[in-house]
Chains A and B, each alone.
Chain A
Amino acid sequence: MSTSQFLVLWLSSFAFILACRVVPVVALRGRPLSPRVVEALGYIPPAAFAALVANDLLSPTMFDAGLWAGLMPLVAAGVVVFVALRTRSMLWCCVSGVVAYVLLSLV
């Protein structure tokens, strides 16, 4: 990747993500929101985080290397959910997730 290619990639991505971050804050600032809008905004975090988790775990090619290779990240995710239920700790969730992933990949 040349410097000019990097600059095009960086500046275009930066401009787009900056607009995504700032425009809603400016547009919605000082405006009274209806209860339905507030309710809808409240559903954004769970929907977005579930989408990110699913995006990481699900893939059309996930079973190409075998059933276990496809299931293994899901089992590791199950371990993280269990740890979240038990500890409610972000750090332990990350540690247990990576450890479970490593151990299960050895199976």
Chain B
Amino acid sequence: MRDTTKTTAQEVLAAAWPVMLSYVAVGLPCGVLAAKAGMTPLMNFVLSLTFLSGGGQFMMSNLWLAGTPLLSIIASVAAISTRFALYSASLAPHLKRFGRGQSLAIACCYTEEAYGITLSRLASGDEWTARHALGLNVCVQLTWAASCAAGAALGSVVDIPTAIAGFAMTSLFIYLLYAQPHTRGTACAALGAVVTVALCKWNGLSGAAVPLAALVGVAAGMASGLLPRRSGGSTGGDGEKPAASAEPVAGGDTQ
């Protein structure tokens, strides 16, 4: 039993540590920004531990510092948080193998990166139990909350440029996008989402850009099935290639 627990912990940490490192890099400036908006380290810790949306937290602080009314901040943050409903919808079929309580616990506390890893592991049929998923969630969640609180505590002492640290999060999302199956449908979904984000942002709908783009992207992916298929494809003419594993690669070299 103890060996099993130890093995599970090792497997979770092997998957979690690159994400945890990234969260430290992004969480510190997120905390610094929140401190500028008037949040204490304790507020930051509680918010980070329960809200679990780095983008949403950055948005809260930025809008507050820009003098945006509280209700507008809540509406904007809610708009970009709707993507979690899409994530949970895509996780739901894979969570059926777990008990109801475990499924709900996993759904309550995943972050976007933990979602990407767990979805990839469950979809690929790996030995990824509810304990693995929950352990991963808790590890990255605590790291994020502690980093944000530390950033708020360090506040004015450490001045990390937000744009630079924020690019760590962008890089994570690029990796997670790359880790998706390399199919024509995926490419259409991604392209549809990018175009929609651009159209929304250039038309003053920044707050709704991400959830709206995700929906349009799904529609574009579905519509790609209506396009004529290429002849000679080995996987139904879709040009499908195996996806990279969404699992972070310790040491960075899979060769």
Contact = CB atoms under 8 A, between A and B. Distances in A.
Interface in B35-92: 37-39, 43, 46-47, 50-53, 55-56, 60, 64, 70, 73-74, 77-78, 81-92
Interface of B: 18-19, 21-22, 25, 37-39, 43, 46-47, 50-53, 55-56, 60, 64, 70, 73-74, 77-78, 81-93, 95-96, 100, 103-104, 107-108, 110, 112-113, 116, 119, 163-181, 185-186, 189-194, 196-198, 201-202, 209-210, 213-218, 220-222, 225, 244-245, 248-254
Given A52-B210, A55-B197, A98-B25, A91 B18 contact: yes
Interface string A1-25: 1110110111011101110111111
Which of B172, B173, B215 lies at the interface centre, i.e. has the most chain A CB atoms within 10 A of its CB? Answer: B173
A58 B197 contact: yes
Interface in A51-94: 51-60, 73, 76-77, 80-81, 84-85, 87-94
A91 B253 contact: no
A25 B95 contact: yes
Contact of B107 (A6, A21, A98): A21
A25 B107 contact: yes
B166 A9 contact: no
B152 to A, nearest CB: 12
B194 A50 contact: yes
Contacts of B221: 39-40, 42-43, 46-47
B74 A54 contact: no
A41 interface: yes
Contacts of A20: 81-82, 84-85, 88
Contacts of B254: 87-89
Contacts of A51: 83, 193-194, 196-197, 209-210, 213-214, 217
A107 interface: no
B53 to A, nearest CB: 6
Contacts of A81: 174, 178
A55 B18 contact: no
Contact of A43 (B64, B104, B165, B185): B185
A98 B248 contact: no
A98 B168 CA distance: 6
Given A10-B50, A84-B244, 7 more contacts: A6-B47, A28-B89, A43-B221, A56-B166, A85-B178, A91-B21, A98-B168
A70 to B, nearest CB: 13
Nearest to A87: B252
6 contacts: A22-B104, A23-B88, A33-B93, A43-B220, A43-B222, A98-B168
Nearest to B15: A90
Rank and list the top 3 A-B pairs by shortest CB-CB distance, nearest first: A47-B217, A97-B171, A43-B221
Which of the listed residues B165, B193, B245, B249 has the most CB atoms from chain A within 10 Å of its own CB? B193
Contacts of B116: 45, 49
Contacts of A49: 116, 173, 176-177, 180, 190
Contacts of A102: 164
Contacts of A6: 38-39, 43, 47
Given A13-B81, A17-B53, A98-B164, A60 B74 contact: no
Contact of A9 (B74, B89, B110, B177): B74
